[in-house]
Structures are given as C-alpha cells and as structure tokens.
C-alpha cells in the first residue's frame, strides 16, 4: 500500500508557510526560526531587525516565542462578525507558561487564508478547564502582508537577550566550601550504619562506613564513647590529606557523604528538614501557626532584619496545602577547590510534613510560581539562603570543632563584558553593576 499525506499535515504546512511569508515580506524584515517538528510545544521564534546606518539589516536581539495553529475551523467556536474563540488545550497553556519569553499564538484560518496573532495573557493561565477559550479580534489581531505593524502590536513583549555594550556582575548559585585538611580512617567490626546507631544511638560523630572502615573528619579521640564501642581495640589511625583523598572517585563519594551529613545536621539546627523523595531541603512549619516568617539582611545591606515568609498556607480550588521555600544542593570538585551549588525550589505539603502526592497538582503549583519568577527573584532567593544561614557573619559556619571546621563562603560573583536585559524596571544594584543570577 502506498503512503498518503493526511489533510491535517497539509493544513499545518500551509500555516507555517503563510507565517514564514508574512515575516519575509514584513518591513523591517522579521527573522522566523522554526523549531524541530514535534507534536507539542513551541513551533518557533521570531526576532525583529532594523536597518543600520549603512543600509544593512541587523538583528535586534528582541525575541518572542511563536505557537502556530492551522485550521479549517475545527479549533474555532463562537464566531461572530467581530471575533472568534480559539479552543486551546490546558496542556499547551501550561507548556507556554514555562517559557521565560512571552508567547504569541498565531492562528491560520486555511479556508480564508488569514493569519491572526495574539499574545497569551496571564489571565489565560488561570483557567482549570481542559479546553481553554482564547478570544481573537478579527480586526485587532489580524496580521497582513503590507501592514508592517507586527512590532507595533508586539514589540513591548519582546525580551532583549544580550547587550554587548553593557557590563554586569553576575551572581551565581555557587558557593566555595572550606573543609578540614585531613580525613581519618579506622578499622571496625561493623558492616552497616544502622547497627552502629542501634549500638550507640545518635551520640556519635558524622561518619561514613565502607568495607568495615570508619571515616571521620575529626580524630576519634574527640568521641570517647564512639571510640570505645565502635572502633577496634587497637584503634590504628590512618590520616590522609583530603585533597589527595578525593582524587579517587570512591573516596570522593565518602567525603561528599560526610559533608552532606554535616550540612544536614547544621540545617536541622536551623529548623530546615530534608525530603528524601524530592531530594531537597525545606523550611519546617511551626505547627501552632499556618505561616512562618523569619528575618534576614537584604542584598543591598540597607534593610536589616527584613521579614520573609518561608512557609505559608493556601487554598486553591480543591487543594489545601502549605508552600515551603526549599532548595536542592550538590557538590562539584575542581582544581580551585570544592564547591556547593544551591538551587532554590519549593515543596508543597498537606500538613507541613507529608508532601502532596499527585504529580499533576505539584506540576501545576510549581509552574505557576516558577514561571513568574525572574532574575531579581532568583537573586533574592540565593542571597536569602546565604544571609539566613550565615547569621549575620561573613560565612556559613557548618561545623566549628577544634580540628574539624567546615564553612561556606558567600556566593561567587562574576564580572562580564555583556549585559542581560532586565525582566522589569526594578533592578538590584551593587557597585554600579546590575546583578543577575548565573546557573
């Protein structure tokens, strides 16, 4: 049997070609970049251009995402002489919501050979229906060859990507860690950490157990009960320079286990717990209150003891939940030392502890928050984590024993010879440089 091409594919190609022709004939020229074909998501993006002093066309860096739908009328409902309603799918709306750039929905009416374009608004994201009505004006949303008004209609929605005539300081989510110089190793008869905790309880140092050997960042002499009950009687001690020790991948995992245990212990002292399922730390709820507010110093240093809500109660339709400010961590090792990466996140629970178990509910809540956050919010998240944990000191002092000191320095900043456009008119200034996050 020979292959056939269905009408839906033909109609879709007609729409893409019609929009590509519109962009090509627009003055100034609009760059249309079609993305790889798939059954979902964004179809491409457009970039405005301008004519320079030499009469040549140059791109402006102003980008907007395009979702293109072609139809003979199947998506259209409630049509009048003035407008028509396009039925969008909720999954498409949720997907568009994830984009940093604004999204313009372009509808090609094949039987009329007309193109309509409309920005997806915040109000379009709120509906909980499976099919979401999006109203198009037949006059305001019509785009035609020769009108050359695309920039007029949508230029305020474009996001400038890079400005090479500016200088900025980028705030990263990377933190340098100072760790002990030595790691200690001892022989033991124990094979499982659970057996050690059962024997001695929680009154023991942070340790790692591998092949009947105990690894510590501190000498066993600091923990006499642990030494007597867990280590072998001869207590033969092996001490190794940490930098040499972690060159071996297996040993690196041992060191990271010790660091994670130390970090978790310190965070628990600050009433920050760990959720194993989602692998992130989160602020505990105070069970006599629905909301939890703590204080920190702002990034500018001008406002001391600024309040911030880290746990809040919400009711959203059928959902009743607590939103916890949270963050994920991971380590990486370089020639310059060991570093911690902190990624701000959220955690949603039913009662302050048990997480919401429906993945669709979690996705919906997370997307609603994260798609509304821009550079300024991320900068504030990162600074807040550091400021709160440092307790108005110059470093986060995770462990401060005589021979075991673990601390985390302030987030690393990078000066670069380019600029990234602001997401809004508000900006964070330090040393006359706009601060942005680098992930």
Task: Specify the pLDDT at position 378.
Answer: 85
Q: How confident is the model at residue 123 (pLDDT cuts 50, 70, 90)?
A: low
Cα distance between residue 126 and residue 270, in whole Å: 36
Q: Which of 70, 68, 76, 67 is nearest to 134 (CA)?
A: 76
> Dihedral, CA atoms, 316, 319, 320, 324, nearest 10 degrees?
-80
Same-domain pairing of 252 and 156: no
Residue 435 confidence (pLDDT): 39
Please say if the pLDDT value at position 128 is more than 60.
no
Q: Is residue 256 part of a domain?
A: yes
Residue 2 vs residues 10, 164, 185, 290: alpha-carbon distances, Å: 17, 54, 71, 65
pLDDT at 75 over 60: yes
pLDDT for 436 beyond 60: no
- Picking from 103, 126, 160, the residue at the C-terminal end of a domain is 160
Q: Kindly tell me if the per-residue pLDDT of 324 is higher than 70.
A: yes
Q: Report the pLDDT averaged over residues 19-48.
A: 84
Supply the range of the domain harboring residue 356.
Answer: 172-181+243-438
**Domain-located, residue 109:** yes
285: pLDDT strictly greater than 90: yes
Is residue 414 a part of any domain in this protein? Answer: yes
pLDDT at 187: 92
Q: Cβ(183)–Cβ(239) under 8 Å?
A: yes
Among the listed residues 208, 213, 192, 327, the one whose alpha carbon sits nearest the alpha carbon of residue 257:
208
Please check the confidence at residue 428 and state whether its pLDDT lies above 70: no
Q: How far from the centroid of its chain's Cα atoms is residue 159's Cα? A: 19
What band does 301 get if pLDDT is binned at 50, 70 and 90? low
Looking at the structure, do residues 274 and 421 belong to the same domain, yes or no? yes
Whether the predicted pLDDT of 372 surpasses 60: no
pLDDT for 272 equals 97
Kindly indicate the confidence band of residue 222, based on its pLDDT and cuts at 50, 70 and 90.
Answer: confident
176 and 114 assigned to the same domain: no
**Nearest 5°: phi and psi at 189?**
-90, -5
Strand bridging mode 433-438 / 168-178: parallel
Same structural domain, 298 and 332: yes
- Please report whether residue 228 resides in a domain: no
> What distances in angstroms separate CA 89 from CA 120, 369, 379, one per listed residue?
13, 20, 33
pLDDT given at position 327:
97
Report yes or no on 113 lying in a domain: yes
Label residues 50-75 b or e (16+ Cβ within 10 Å = b): eeeeeeeeeebbbbbbbbbbbbeeeb
Cα separation, 439 vs 104, whole angstroms: 27
Integer angstrom CA distances of residue 253 from 39, 300, 330, 434? 41, 37, 12, 38
Provide the H-helix boundaries in 110-248: 150-154, 193-200, 224-230, 242-245
Is residue 223 in some structural domain? no
User: 242 falls in which pLDDT band (50, 70, 90)?
Assistant: very high
Q: Cα 216 to chain center, whole Å?
A: 34
pLDDT-derived band at 93 (thresholds 50, 70, 90) equals: confident
Q: What pLDDT, on the 0 to 100 scale, is given for residue 133? A: 84
Highest-confidence segment of 18-27, 150-159, 161-170:
18-27
Higher local confidence (pLDDT), 108 or 75: 108
Pairing state between β 429-430 and 419-420: unpaired
Between 72 and 330, residue with greater pLDDT: 330
Task: Answer yes or no: do 308 and 432 share one domain.
Answer: yes
Written as one string, the DSSP assignment of 71-124 is ESSTTEES--SSEEEEEEEHHHHHHHHT-SS-EEEEEEETTTTEEEEEEPPGGG
- Cis amide linkage into residue 28, ω under 30° from 0: yes
Q: What is the pLDDT of residue 132?
A: 79
Question: Does residue 1 fall inside a structural domain?
Answer: no
% of the chain residues with pLDDT over 70? 83
Tokens of 427: 């900006």
273: pLDDT strictly greater than 80: yes
22 compared with 43, residue with greater pLDDT: 22
Q: 103: Cβ–Cβ under 8 A, 6 or more apart, which residues?
A: 42, 64, 65, 66, 67, 96, 119, 120
Q: Which residue has the tokens 């659970």?
A: 194
Is 248's pLDDT higher than 90?
yes
pLDDT of residue 157: 59
Is pLDDT of 97 > 80? no
CA-CA distance, 424 to 399, in Å (whole number)? 40
Q: Which residues pair with 124 in a beta bridge?
A: none
Residues 39-45, mean pLDDT to the nearest whole number: 73
Same domain as 155, residue 263: no
| Most confident stretch, 125-139, 387-401, 410-424 | 387-401
Burial group, residue 250, by CB count within 10 angstroms (0-12, 13-18, 19+):
exposed
> Are residue 420 and residue 291 in the same domain, yes or no?
yes
Task: Output the domain CATH number for residue 153.
Answer: 3.40.1350
Residue with tokens 């504030």: 380
Average pLDDT of the residues of the chain: 83
Looking at residue 165, its pLDDT comes to: 61
Alpha helix locations (H) across 231-282? 242-245, 249-269
The torsion angle over the Cα atoms of residues 69, 71, 75 and 80, rounded to 10 degrees, is 110
Residue 323, domain member (yes or no):
yes
- For residues 370 and 343, membership in a common domain is answered with yes
Query: pLDDT at position 424, please?
Result: 42
DSSP 287-319: TT-S-EEEEE--TTSSS-SEEEEEEEEEEETTE
Q: Around Cβ 41, how many Cβ atoms within 10 Å?
A: 15
Residue 405 above 80 pLDDT? yes
Q: What burial letters (b/e) apply to 184-198, b meaning 16+ CB within 10 Å?
A: bbbbbebeeeeebee
Residues 281 and 333 in one domain: yes
In the chain, the number of structural domains is: 2
Alpha carbon dihedral 31, 35, 36, 41, in 10-degree steps, equals -160
Per-residue model confidence as pLDDT tens digits over 169-211: 888 999 999 999 999 999 999 999 999 999 888 778 899 999 9
Residues 13 and 154 in one domain: yes
Mean pLDDT computed over 354-359 = 83
What integer pLDDT is reported at residue 62 of this predicted model? 83
| Coil vs helix vs strand at 168 | strand
Q: Which pLDDT belongs to residue 376?
A: 76
**Same domain, residue pair 139 and 259:** no
* Structure-block tokens of residue 129: 């229906």
* Length of the chain counted residue by residue: 439
Q: Are residues 16 and 106 in the same domain?
A: yes
């Amino acid at each position: 049997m020979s292959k056939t091409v269905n009408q839906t594919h033909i109609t879709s190609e007609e729409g893409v070609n019609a929009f590509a022709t519109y962009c090509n004939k627009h003055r100034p020229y609009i760059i249309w970049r079609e993305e790889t074909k798939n059954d979902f998501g964004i179809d491409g993006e457009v970039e405005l251009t301008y004519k320079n002093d030499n009469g040549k066309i140059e791109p402006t860096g102003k980008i907007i995402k395009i979702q293109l739908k072609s139809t003979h009328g199947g998506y259209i409902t409630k049509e009048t002489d003035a407008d028509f309603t396009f039925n969008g799918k909720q999954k498409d709306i949720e997907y568009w919501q994830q984009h940093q750039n604004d999204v313009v929905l372009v509808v090609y009416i094949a039987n009329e050979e007309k193109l309509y374009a409309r920005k997806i608004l915040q109000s379009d994201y709120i509906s909980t229906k499976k099919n979401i009505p999006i109203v198009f004006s037949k006059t305001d949303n019509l785009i035609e060859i020769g009108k050359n008004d695309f920039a007029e209609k949508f230029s305020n929605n474009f996001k400038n990507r890079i400005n090479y005539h500016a200088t900025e300081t980028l705030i990263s989510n990377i933190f340098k860690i100072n760790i002990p110089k030595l790691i200690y190793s001892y022989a033991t008869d124990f094979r499982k950490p659970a057996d050690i905790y059962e024997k001695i309880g929680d009154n023991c140092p942070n340790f790692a157990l591998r092949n009947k050997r105990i690894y510590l960042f501190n000498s066993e002499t600091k923990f006499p009960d642990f030494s007597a009950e867990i280590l072998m009687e001869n207590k033969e001690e092996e001490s190794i320079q940490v930098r040499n020790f972690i060159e071996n991948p297996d040993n690196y995992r041992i060191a990271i286990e010790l660091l994670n245990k130390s970090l978790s212990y310190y965070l628990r002292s600050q009433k920050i717990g760990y959720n194993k399922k989602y692998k992130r730390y989160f602020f505990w709820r105070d069970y006599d209150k629905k909301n939890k507010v703590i204080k920190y110093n702002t990034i500018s240093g001008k406002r001391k003891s600024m309040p911030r809500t880290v746990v809040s109660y919400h009711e959203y339709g059928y959902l009743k939940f607590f939103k916890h400010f949270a963050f994920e961590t991971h380590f990486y090792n370089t020639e310059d030392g060991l570093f911690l990466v902190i990624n701000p996140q959220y955690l949603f629970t039913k009662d302050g502890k048990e997480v919401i178990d429906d993945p669709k509910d979690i996705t919906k809540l997370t997307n609603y928050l994260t798609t509304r956050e821009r550079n300024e919010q991320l900068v504030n998240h990162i600074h807040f984590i550091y400021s709160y944990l440092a307790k108005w000191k110059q470093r986060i002092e995770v462990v401060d024993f005589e021979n075991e000191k673990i601390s985390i320095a302030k987030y690393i900043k990078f000066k670069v010879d380019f600029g990234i456009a602001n997401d809004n008119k508000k900006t964070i200034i330090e040393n006359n440089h706009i601060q942005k996050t680098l992930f």
